Chains A and B, each alone.
Chain A
Amino acid sequence: MTEEKDEKKYTTISIPFQLAEKIKKRIEGTGFHSLSSYATYVLREVISGMENEDEDEAFSKEDEEKVKDRLRALGYLD
C-alpha cells in the first residue's frame, strides 16, 4: 500500500457549547457514536438537499432527436 499518498481527511469546526451538549444528549442510544458523526450526517443531508434543487441540464435538440428515434425504433415510445 502506498501510504505516502494518504492525506488529511478531517477538519475541525466550532459550534456553540450548549448546542453540542444538546446534540450529545440527543444521540445517546442511537447509532451515532460521536458528535462528529452526527454533525457529518446532518450536514451531508442538508448539502445533498441543496444540490438536488439545481435544475438538470437540458438535452441538445440533436441529442433529443437521436434518443427519441432509438426509443421509438425499440418500441419504448409510440
Chain B
Amino acid sequence: MSRAHGSKLISRHLKKEPTDLEEMPVIEINTDLSEDVLNIANGVFSPLKGFLCYNDLDNVVKEKRLESDTPWTIPILLDYDSKVANEGDTVLLVNKENGVRALLDVEDIYTYDKKTLSQEIYQTQDENHPGVANVNNMKQYIIGGKISLIDSKEREFDNYNLSPKETRFLFKEKGWKEIVAFQTRNPPHIGHEYVQKTALTFVDGIFINPIIGKKKVGDFRDEVILSSYETLMKYYYLKERAVMSILRTSMKYAGPREAIHHAIMRKNFGCTHFIVGRDHAGVGNYYGPYDAHDIFSEFPDLGIIPVFFRSFSRCTKCGSVVNDKICPHDQKYHINFSGTKIREILKNGDVPSEDIMRKEVAETILKYDKPFVE
C-alpha cells in the first residue's frame, strides 16, 4: 500500500468544540470550499493541513510543488472579499448546506495575479474554460492557514463515502498490497470494464472511485452512476477484488495538472496505481490528448504508479475490446464507446448493444425515470 502523500496521513478533527466560537469572526464558505475543508480534515489532500499560504501557492503555480518540494499541482485556496480577520486570528468557517463548521488559523492574507494563475494552472486565459472562469470569479483576497474541523452533517451517499483512513484499513483487511484506482464520472460501459480489468489483472484489487457532486445538465445523476456500478460489480467482479467508494470534490478541468492531483488523492486512499485515460480531466481542446500522460515524467517522487490507457474501442474483427497498440485492423471495424451516443440511446429508453454496455447496467439506468440532470 502507498504511504500517504508527504509521508503522513493528515487528520484535522477537533475532539471538543471550542467554548469561544461566538466571539470569532465568521466566514461563510460555499459548498465547493466546504468539500475542500472536509478533504483536508480527512486526509484526502494530505499533506495539506489547510488552505495554501502565498509561498506554497507560488511554488505550486511555478514549480508544481509545495514549498517543501512535495509534488502538488492544484491550488487549494480560500478566497474572500474583505479583510474579515488579520494574520494570527482564528476564524470560524461555516457552510450551511453540508453543516460544515471548522476553525481556520489565519497565517497569511494575500492577493495573487489571476492571469498568472489561469495561465499556469489551465494553460489558457480563455474565459470559456470553466477553470479560468472560476479564477476570474475569485474574490480579492486569499486566506491561507491550517483548518480544524468541528463537525459536519450526514449527507446522501454517506454509506458510499470512505475516508482514506477507512480505505487503508479495508485494503489491509483484504490483504491487498497493490491497489489500482479508477476515477469516473459516468456509468460503466464495456470500455471502462476492459480498462479496469486489464489493470486489475496485474494488482491485488481495484478501487473504483466516482467523483460525486456538482453536475452539468445532461450528466448522469450521482445515484445512477453509483447503482450502475453496483450492478456491474455484482454480476461481473469478484467481491474480494473490487471496492467502490465516492470522492466529493469539484472537477477543475485542469487536464495534466489535475491528473497528478487525482493520483495524489488516490495515493492518500492507499492506492499504489492510478489509471490515466486519454485527455484525463480535460475540457474542449485546451490540452493534447496525452498531456495528462506526459506530465507524470516530471514527478519521479510522486509515489503512485500511473497506468496509462490510450483510446480503446470494440473491434468487430478481433471480437474484443482493443486499443491502438494491440489491434491491426482498420477503423471501419471499430465501434467507439461514445458517451454521447450511449446517452442518446438511453434517453430514448433503449438498451444499448451488449458490445457497448452490459445489459444489466443499461437496465439499472433505465429503471430511473430521470437518469440525467435536468
Contacts and interface: CB of A to CB of B under 8 A. Distances in A.
Contact of A67 (B159, B166, B297): B166
A74 B159 contact: yes
B242 to A, nearest CB: 11
A2 B111 contact: yes
A71 B301 contact: no
Interface in B286-300: 297, 300
Contacts of A56: 1, 3
A51 B54 contact: no
A1 B170 contact: no
Interface string A1-31: 1100111010000000000000000000001
A71 B58 contact: no
Enumerate the 8 nearest inter-chain pairs by beta-carbon distance, A residue then B residue, closest first: A48-B301, A45-B300, A44-B301, A67-B169, A1-B113, A5-B54, A44-B300, A2-B110
Nearest to B297: A31
Contact of B169 (A1, A41, A52, A64): A64
Interface of B: 1, 3, 7-8, 54-55, 58-59, 63, 69, 110-113, 116, 159-160, 162, 165-166, 169-170, 173, 243, 297, 300-303
A9 B61 CA distance: 14
Interface of A: 1-2, 5-7, 9, 31, 41-42, 44-45, 47-48, 51-52, 54, 56-57, 59, 63-64, 67-68, 70-71, 74, 76-77
Nearest to A32: B297
A30 to B, nearest CB: 10
Contacts of A6: 58
Given A1-B113, A76-B170, A41 B300 contact: yes
A59 to B, nearest CB: 7
Contacts of A47: 301
A64 B173 CA distance: 11
Nearest to A52: B3
A48 B58 contact: no
